[in-house]
Structure 1
Amino acid sequence: MNRSPERFSASRRQPLLTGLLLWVLLVSRAVVALGQTEGQMEKVVITSLNQKTGIQALENGELQVNVSPQDARTFKKRGWVRYGDFGARGDGKTDDIDAIAGTHAFANQQGLPVKADGGATYYIGGKERTAVIRTNTDFGTAAFIIDDTEVQNRNASVFMVSSGLQPFPLKGITSLKRNQEKIDVSLPGPCLVTVTNAAVKHYIRFGLNQNNGAAQTDIFLVDKNGRVDRGAPIIWDFDQITDISALPIDEKPLTITGGRFTTIANRAESKYTYYNRNIAIKRSNVVVDGLEHRITGEGDHGAPYGGFLNIRDCGYVTVRNAVLTGHKTYSTIGAAGKPVSMGTYDLSANRALNVSFINCRQTNDINDRTYWGILGSNYCKNMLYDGCVFSRFDAHMGVANATIRNSTLGHMGINAIGSGTLTVENSTIRGGNLVNLRSDYGSTWQGDFIIRNCVFVPSGGRPASASLIGGSNSGQHDFGYICYMPERILIENLHIDDSSHPANYGGPAIFANMNPQLTDDSFREKFPYVTTREVVLRKVTTASGKPLRVSDNTFMFRNVKVVAEAN
């Protein structure tokens, strides 16, 4: 699914060798690196004075990095730089964020990889400073302690994986159609295109976290001639466009390896003030391999987290062999004025294409309900879990095409709305449903489900009346779009472990009772919910011995064609 596409103050200067003059003139210029928060720039000035290599942070927030000519020659000959070269102590007590950020600034300027010092423990306090990564980085076995107990800016990422390529507006495109094959542009190479129509609202949320929706948004991939990648198509009709831009895709992969990160959790008030003290990935064609993240210091209250790995506005990102941690669930008062559990994440993906998580797991029990589900995503396409052991998969404001294979999902299971094909194969699902279509966004999926070679353990083995497809839609709320159930569902070689069930259990149902009010022709849906056309069953078995049935609500699903093929 992930297809890779074809940068000390000093009292005075000292004379330098003539052969170094041109190099010094180049390096002595001020370098401005992307800062930690959107709309804010962080200034890094790099000099090459004939003095000791070091870092100085000024009162205005500017970071000055001096690299002596001799050290510069050594670094370039060696072929990489390390945090210790720029003064990082790595003793677990001294705040090393300035040295870390300065190391990356120099490495970015010179195109050099970065390595952490073996055996070091880097303490990162609450200072507002972001290390911008634009070259391969090996964190190795080094430890990083991120202390969130006193933070200057909760939205300041600790690391930002950034591209040197910049987005640019697209002119002359005034409308788009769903599944349009080409847009009329000529580009420098493959690009991600993000488009918005602020005049149309989608995802008008229902329930305790109700809201007025978000501007119609899409992100898709085009080649240099404007041809749209069929694997990540345009999914909405845009009658008008208020903003459209293209971001070139980095062709060369950037790799980040290793690292043992520990977050000392914030102790802020439990409300929706998300902390983003994380590794933000805003560059395409990135591989993160072998990273570990743990959490300590969680108490009886705290603000939620927006994802330690936060993947945004990019494509072709692979996270493999990662060990992550679910966050403790805290509650607050939601938009409807009632208590609500706050979503809090160690993984987050927003406006991202072709994102894969391979052979990843979490440190805490995937069935422990005191911890929130580990992933949240919005506006993504082609997401993959392969060989993962996580508490859940989740798509809030839509995913186009998702695959879960060779994986085990815990108490929150699979939660999704979206379009395209949802494929679940060779996996064990321990949620309340095999797939839960999120009711706060209309329980909508415009496309197909394919479920093969899976085991479903309803509610993790607690007594429950099992249903494979869960959700709810009253037909009375406008979500900003037509809501669909998957048009066709193929279920092949599924075992339902419903051995723990209530006394009045009638056997597992294909569909939950999506609308208890819809029991006869007298009910009127203001906003019709389009039900499934066909379900194909091949070799479905149950531990209870009870046969699979359609639903408690036989009227709602009366027109669904169920084909039970021979085993």
Structure 2
Amino acid sequence: MIKRSLLIASLFSFFFVTYGQVENPPENVVITSKKKETKVFENESGVLHVNVSRKNIKNFKKKGVILYSDFNAIGDGKTDDMDAIAATHAFANAHNLKVKADEGFTYYIGGKDRSAVIKTDTDFGNASFIIDDTNIENKDTSIFLVRSSNEPFKLNGLKSLKKNQKKIDISLEESSLITVTNSNTKHYIRYGLNQDNGSDQTDIFVVDKNGNVDMDAPIIWDFDQITKATALPIDKTTLYITGGHFTTIANKAASKYTYYSRNMVIGRSNVIVDGLEHHIKGEGEHGAPYRGFVSTRDCAYITIKNTILTGHKMYRTIGSAGKPVSMGSYDLSLTRSLNVTVENCSQTNDINDGAYWGLQSSNYSKNLVYDNCTFSRFDAHKGVANATIRNSTLGHMGINAIGCGTLVVENSTINGRNLINLRSDYGSTWQGEVFIKDCVFVPSGGRKPTSASLFGGTYTGKHDFGYICYMPEKITIENLQIKDTNHPDDYLGPAIFNNFNKNMTDASYQEEYPSVKTKEVILKNVTTASGKELMVSSNPYMFKDVKVITK
């Protein structure tokens, strides 16, 4: 028998280690069951109250699915439905019910400081959602938070770690996602116009209940000390989020690094996002950047497929070095995420239009896969361990990466300035191997005369990034077409490496922080449209010890 008054205070807290972002407030919903009608309202303290009649509870449980209209969503594209949406998911979470958007509805979401927490399967279907960012209460409040029902907890006793360590001395009730930091060591000490003092040494990996590390995503750093360690149990079931046509009315804020997070954040492992669309309208002469409409954070085993996203307009501001910079603004962001596959996805605007920033970014992630995607770029900021790009087309910003492990580019067309750009602001470093097979490289998309180089980057050896910098130890290139017909008059031919350091032309130049240079490049069936031979570099001294094998 259902009690006359059922009070569920859903005051869940969730652990996020964020970078420059205020944490989202916890879910704050009170659910009651009385004889009165189903009603949703906000009290003076901002707490959302949801009363559901006992008759409706019985009907909802019988159906196994609830609609936003069941909680009084209007869906006319004008009335703010955020409270109804949040209430629907809160009730669904409490009773393990699926959520479905009403067919043909258009839900308007205004600037209220409220998130809807998703813990059950959600089908947005063919419904539309208008997210109005022109007048908001909190730029850091996500629209949807996809959360685990499991709670993270601190790991006590974990004092140090070694790179590629296979087992840690802990026992857990179930497989968990482990995040460790050492606040006394700084990595990714950024160089250039957005220079900074670096970030705490960080790693993320999965262990089973006996402490065995999943070596498909190994520990990549030596930790002499661990100042914080947490574990989040891996969700055993897969959560599905399907459909939905979302449109963001862009903010009109000043063009500064005040990132907006009006998005969907996935903080639960084993999630599939399928068939979502995100569009943007109303971008003007200025605006603040976005963190990514679809964002993953502190999770593993994520698939994003059949999804259409949109590149944000590029705005400029003054960077930390006191000079003008273009601000990164994203529609797909992957942070501390393992085993993420982005499959059969594309963007609404031209991937070669330089007015729009590169669509995707990642930080502290491992095993990222692009498969059959058409995006303006792939990007790894603060390192990626293992990445694969296959059957894809990348636009004007190409492939930007630093990290370690294996980088594979296969059966893809790249339209960037370089085939692969090793980001100079983080040391142009890749510690591992690179495989390029069955690809087409169109330097700068053929839009302007370009002296083509396969690997771009800059390394002066005068800046401490917080780690030793590496160029790929071994590079294997097979069946590559270089379409370099649009080139300057003094073009000597494409280079494997661009001139990473114009001052390093003889032994008199000494690097204070020496980088480890590439040992071997294997070439098989590399052709050029210009008819010119592929050379090692326009700086032969810097790459004099590279062994090039042509098969």
Q: Aligned letter for 1:373? A: G
- State which of 137, 147, 151 in structure 1 corresponds to 2:136: 151
TM superposition shift of 1:356: 1.0
TM superposition shift of 1:310: 1.0
Instruction: Name 1:212's counterpart in structure 2.
Output: 197
Instruction: Name 1:29's counterpart in structure 2.
Output: 8
Render the CA deviation track for 1:70-116: whole Å, top value 9, x for unaligned.
11111111110000000000000000000000000000000000000
Instruction: Name 1:548's counterpart in structure 2.
Output: 534
TM superposition shift of 1:38: 2.5
Structure 1, 495-504 or 418-427: larger mean CA deviation = 495-504
Distance 2:24 2:323 in 1: 34
Render the CA deviation track for 1:165-206: whole Å, top value 9, x for unaligned.
111111211111011111001011111111111111100000
Instruction: Name 2:19's counterpart in structure 1.
Output: none
Does residue 331 of structure 1 match 2:316?
Answer: yes
Instruction: Name 1:537's counterpart in structure 2.
Output: 523
Aligned to 1:105, the other structure's residue is in SS state helix
Distance 1:531 1:90 in 2: 59
Does residue 495 of structure 1 match 2:481?
Answer: yes
Instruction: Name 1:223's counterpart in structure 2.
Output: 208
Render the CA deviation track for 1:104-161: whole Å, top value 9, x for unaligned.
0000000000000000000000000100000000000000000000010000000000
Distance 1:317 1:465 in 2: 38
- State which of 513, 531, 545 in structure 2 corresponds to 1:527: 513
Instruction: Name 1:428's counterpart in structure 2.
Output: 413
Render the CA deviation track for 1:296-328: whole Å, top value 9, x for unaligned.
000000000010011101111110000000000
- State which of 458, 466, 469 in structure 2 corresponds to 1:483: 469
Distance 1:93 1:34 in 2: 32
Distance 2:293 2:157 in 1: 38
Structure 1, 143-152 or 242-251: larger mean CA deviation = 242-251
- List gaps (5 residues or longer) in structure 2: 17-21
Does residue 508 of structure 1 match 2:487?
Answer: no
- State which of 364, 370, 373 in structure 1 corresponds to 2:355: 370
TM superposition shift of 1:337: 0.3
Residues matched between the structures, number: 544
TM superposition shift of 1:20: 3.1
Render the CA deviation track for 1:25-47: whole Å, top value 9, x for unaligned.
5x433332458962632321101
Contact 2:292 2:333 in 1 (8 A): yes
TM-score normalised by structure 2 residue count: 0.98
Render the CA deviation track for 1:17-64: whole Å, top value 9, x for unaligned.
xx334xx55x43333245896263232110110111110111211000
- List gaps (5 residues or longer) in structure 1: 1-18
Contact 1:33 1:44 in 2 (8 A): no
Aligned to 1:102, the other structure's residue is in SS state helix
Q: Aligned letter for 1:529? A: S
Distance 1:190 1:512 in 2: 44
TM-score normalised by structure 1 residue count: 0.95
Does residue 75 of structure 1 match 2:71?
Answer: no
Identity of aligned residues (%): 64
Distance 1:562 1:301 in 2: 48
TM superposition shift of 1:472: 0.3
Render the CA deviation track for 1:482-532: whole Å, top value 9, x for unaligned.
000000000000000001111111110000000111111111100001110
Does residue 296 of structure 1 match 2:296?
Answer: no
Does residue 406 of structure 1 match 2:391?
Answer: yes
Instruction: Name 1:93's counterpart in structure 2.
Output: 78
Instruction: Name 1:127's counterpart in structure 2.
Output: 112
Instruction: Name 2:230's counterpart in structure 1.
Output: 245
Q: Aligned letter for 2:2? A: L
- State which of 290, 295, 302 in structure 2 corresponds to 1:305: 290
Render the CA deviation track for 1:404-459: whole Å, top value 9, x for unaligned.
00000000000000000000000000000000000000000000000000000001
Aligned to 1:173, the other structure's residue is in SS state coil
Instruction: Name 1:559's counterpart in structure 2.
Output: 545
Aligned to 2:331, the other structure's residue is in SS state strand
Instruction: Name 2:157's counterpart in structure 1.
Output: 172
TM superposition shift of 1:542: 0.7
Q: Aligned letter for 2:61? A: K
Distance 1:59 1:492 in 2: 65
Structure 1, 33-42 or 459-468: larger mean CA deviation = 33-42
Distance 1:295 1:540 in 2: 40
Contact 2:419 2:454 in 1 (8 A): yes
TM superposition shift of 1:267: 0.1
Alignment of 1:374-393 (within 5 A): 374-393=359-378
Aligned to 2:337, the other structure's residue is in SS state strand
Distance 2:482 2:256 in 1: 38
Distance 1:441 1:118 in 2: 47
Contact 1:181 1:230 in 2 (8 A): yes
Instruction: Name 1:45's counterpart in structure 2.
Output: 30
Aligned to 2:396, the other structure's residue is in SS state strand
Aligned to 1:460, the other structure's residue is in SS state helix
Contact 2:10 2:27 in 1 (8 A): no
Render the CA deviation track for 1:327-369: whole Å, top value 9, x for unaligned.
0000000000000000000010111101111000000000000
Aligned to 2:293, the other structure's residue is in SS state strand
Q: Aligned letter for 1:197? A: N
Distance 2:204 2:515 in 1: 26
Distance 2:81 2:456 in 1: 48
Contact 1:270 1:332 in 2 (8 A): yes
Instruction: Name 1:319's counterpart in structure 2.
Output: 304
Instruction: Name 1:20's counterpart in structure 2.
Output: 2
- State which of 265, 273, 279 in structure 2 corresponds to 1:280: 265
Aligned to 2:28, the other structure's residue is in SS state strand
Distance 1:60 1:348 in 2: 33
Distance 1:185 1:63 in 2: 40
Contact 1:30 1:47 in 2 (8 A): no
Distance 2:505 2:134 in 1: 53
Instruction: Name 1:104's counterpart in structure 2.
Output: 89
Distance 1:173 1:43 in 2: 33
Q: Which runs of 4+ in 1 moved over 6 A?
A: none
